Structure 1
Amino acid sequence: MRMEDFSALIAPDALFLALGAALLLLPGLVAMGAMCVALLTAASLRKSSRVFADKLAKQITEFGVLVLGAWLLIVSARWGLWIGEIWPVSEIQQAFYHLFFDIPGQTALVATLLSLLFVRTWRRKKRSSTGHFVLGGAACLAWMTALMLFIQGGLFLVQAETPPARMDISSTMMFLSVPTVWLVWAQALFLGMALAGGLGLLYLVIRRSREDYGRDYYGWAARACALRALSSGIVQVFWAGALYLSLSINQAWADLAIQEVSQWIRAALAALPGSPAFPAMLAYLAISLTAWLSLLPLVRSQNPMRLKGLMLVHVLFMFIAVVLLIMVVSELF
């Protein structure tokens, strides 16, 4: 990496913009990811460790709702500062804020209500049941739909010369045929689950003094969260790489599909280093690798709750990785 590339990577304007976007977007992704992690935990571990899995699903669901509440406060506060002319935003950001009062925001409201019902069912009946899976599946589906609508609306706003006052579903549905949209959606989905698993480790540390389920449970739960964060983190990096590849090669997907593998690999190797997002992408991959390595001792440890420092290090590196990823996406779009 050349010195001028490094200087551009840490430029205050780009860095502060990415930090602000991360603080606004991450809580929403964590809330969505927590619902998916809770459902997967209760469903996939129902036979082998049902009691522990149900307790962890309950705690992760409550964690997701708490983060969701904090996210809504952050979004509302930022919106109030804009409306009060205290902290102005750009025209594209203003149009994006309108999505919260449009179809994407309405879908997110439905997902929020379903998430609250999901939490209440865990508090009333601590064992998993058909009702849990129905509500959890509906909440996850609503969150995934809201995520897709926000992505579609955001891309439409970026590309439209004059953004419309209301979101037009027929206009945005055309993005469903664009593979890049699905890459963004898949990467954001697995990123949310990775963040929920990583931050869930810290939540377990906080809740242990109030909900003492025993040393065996918390050791199992910490390893389960670390493994979920590790697996989802690896998957989301692969999706991020595919997104970077698709946006860096200036060829249509149809043209790439008819080429031989060796041809588009050569095109990729020639185009990727020349991309303006290449320095940020390299840094993102390096930081993501560091975040993975910090999880391995937690997965292997018999008493992972003692490794609180590693939990904090992992969350810190994941936050830095997300900031770098936002810088990559902003350069590519």
Structure 2
Amino acid sequence: MSIQETLTLVAYMLAPAFFSLLGMAALGSPAIAVLAEISAKTRKKVLFDKYGQQTAGMGLILVIALILIYGASLGIALVRFPDLFQAYLTPGSAFFNGSVAFAVFVVAGLIYFTTWKRMRNAKAAHIALGLVATFAAITGLAIVVPAKLALNFSLTQPNGDVMTNTVILAQPMSAMYALLVLSAAAALGLAYILLRRNRDDYGRDYYNFAVRMASRWALLPMIGFLGCQLWLYSRLPADIQTLILGTPLAYVWVGLTVLGGLCGLIWLFLNRCESPLRFKGLAFLAVGLFWLLHALNATLFVNFMTMM
């Protein structure tokens, strides 16, 4: 693949990467919100609770968007990929089991997000709902990521190679996306909180606190995501490693790593800054870089399907 073809593929991936990023933030939002709720209870600090409540507000919007995106993808699968659509409807299949996990996530998540105020005096039960939604989202990813790898490999490779290549990529990619949904939820949550500042006027002290917390919780999973890139590369066969280094795909991989590092530096700066609200534009810049990172990551995934 030439550099021009690679850039064209990256550009083609930008639109689906945008909607995928929204979906990832939806999946990770219960984890961030429940972490804040637990922190509020254990540290006796109401600012955590406000931050969790605002993250839950974003999560509600994104879960509704995710339902619409998921419905559209099923419609596309029905028309263009009838075998895949059938797999979603076949009890016991990985896609069916993953759909069940995501359904549990949606139900528990919607109840969790919409009952934040009503269950203020039943924090234990409310936290339990958030944990159910969180574990259902992670379980769904752990099921669907290997299933999608196996499906894509099966389209072009013999059965023996399908299992081998799926095993090579499944663990690092599942871990990578589990971390990425957490980082996406915190990063988009940071931008959402800043957009809501004029409507939800909780005071300057709260917003300085929320920007620092959101930045920290976006940064830590991103560090893990970058570590997964090294893990993924180390799992590839030696001939594939050599092939990647000799193609423009190497620039894609370096590019997404650099973008992840830039996002991390922005969040580290905001977390350590005395007055982070003075630099709120950096929060939106980080979201844009995150979007491009995800498009590059998708480009990498597509090329793996043809190279291995």
Shorter-chain TM-score: which interval? 0.7 to 0.9
For 2:147 and 2:73, locate their aligned partners in 1 and report how far apart those are by CA, in whole Å: 20
**What SS class does the counterpart of residue 210 from structure 1 fall into?**
coil
Which residue type is aligned with residue 144 of structure 2? F
Task: Tell me how far 1:298 sits from its aligned partner.
Answer: 1.3
Map 1:261-280 to 2 at 5 A: 273-274=245-246, 277-280=249-252
Are positions 1:284 and 2:256 aligned together?
yes
Residue of structure 1 in register with 2:268 after alignment? 296
Residues 100 and 127 of structure 1, relative CA distance in 2, 3 Å threshold:
farther
Q: In the TM superposition, what whole-angstrom CA distance separates every residue of 1:152-194 from its partner, at most 9, and x where no partner exists?
A: 32122123359xxxxxxxxxxx89x936312111100111111
* TM-score w.r.t. length of structure 2: 0.83
Residue of structure 1 in register with 2:160 after alignment? none
Map 1:255-266 to 2 at 5 A: none
RMSD: 2.8
Residues 280 and 113 of structure 1, relative CA distance in 2, 3 Å threshold:
same
Task: Tell me how far 1:241 sits from its aligned partner.
Answer: 2.3
Residue of structure 1 in register with 2:130 after alignment? 136
Residue of structure 1 in register with 2:54 after alignment? 59
Q: In the TM superposition, what whole-angstrom CA distance separates every residue of 1:215-251 from its partner, at most 9, and x where no partner exists?
A: 1111101110011111111111111221132125359
Q: Conserved in 1, the CA contact under 8 Å of 2:29 and 2:186?
A: yes
Q: Conserved in 1, the CA contact under 8 Å of 2:6 and 2:248?
A: no
Residue of structure 1 in register with 2:159 after alignment? none
For 1:127 and 1:96, locate their aligned partners in 2 and report how far apart those are by CA, in whole Å: 45
1:75 to 67, 70, 77: 70
**What SS class does the counterpart of residue 212 from structure 2 fall into?**
helix
Task: Tell me how far 1:17 sits from its aligned partner.
Answer: 4.1
Residue of structure 2 in register with 1:256 after alignment? none
Map 1:212-291 to 2 at 5 A: 212-249=201-238, 273-274=245-246, 277-291=249-263
Q: In the TM superposition, what whole-angstrom CA distance separates every residue of 1:272-326 from its partner, at most 9, and x where no partner exists?
A: 6246632210111122222222223311223323322111111001111111111
Residue of structure 2 in register with 1:167 after alignment? none
Map 1:1-333 to 2 at 5 A: 6-10=3-7, 12=8, 14-44=9-39, 46-48=41-43, 50-77=45-72, 79-80=74-75, 89=80, 91=81, 95-96=83-84, 101=89, 102-126=96-120, 129-161=123-155, 178=167, 180-249=169-238, 273-274=245-246, 277-333=249-305
Q: Which runs of 5+ in 2 are unaligned?
A: 90-95, 157-162
* TM-score w.r.t. length of structure 1: 0.77
**What SS class does the counterpart of residue 191 from structure 1 fall into?**
helix
Q: Which runs of 5+ in 1 are unaligned?
A: 163-173, 252-267
Q: Conserved in 2, the CA contact under 8 Å of 1:248 and 1:332?
A: no
Task: Tell me how far 1:208 sits from its aligned partner.
Answer: 1.9
Residues 231 and 17 of structure 1, relative CA distance in 2, 3 Å threshold:
same
Q: Conserved in 2, the CA contact under 8 Å of 1:104 and 1:150?
A: yes
For 1:128 and 1:54, locate their aligned partners in 2 and report how far apart those are by CA, in whole Å: 14
Residue of structure 2 in register with 1:255 after alignment? none
Q: In the TM superposition, what whole-angstrom CA distance separates every residue of 1:87-110 from its partner, at most 9, and x where no partner exists?
A: x75x4xx54455655332222111
For 2:34 and 2:219, locate their aligned partners in 1 and report how far apart those are by CA, in whole Å: 17
Single out whichever of 200-209 and 118-127 deviates more from structure 2. 118-127
Which residue type is aligned with residue 66 of structure 2? W
Q: Conserved in 2, the CA contact under 8 Å of 1:58 and 1:126?
A: no
Which residue type is aligned with residue 171 of structure 2? W
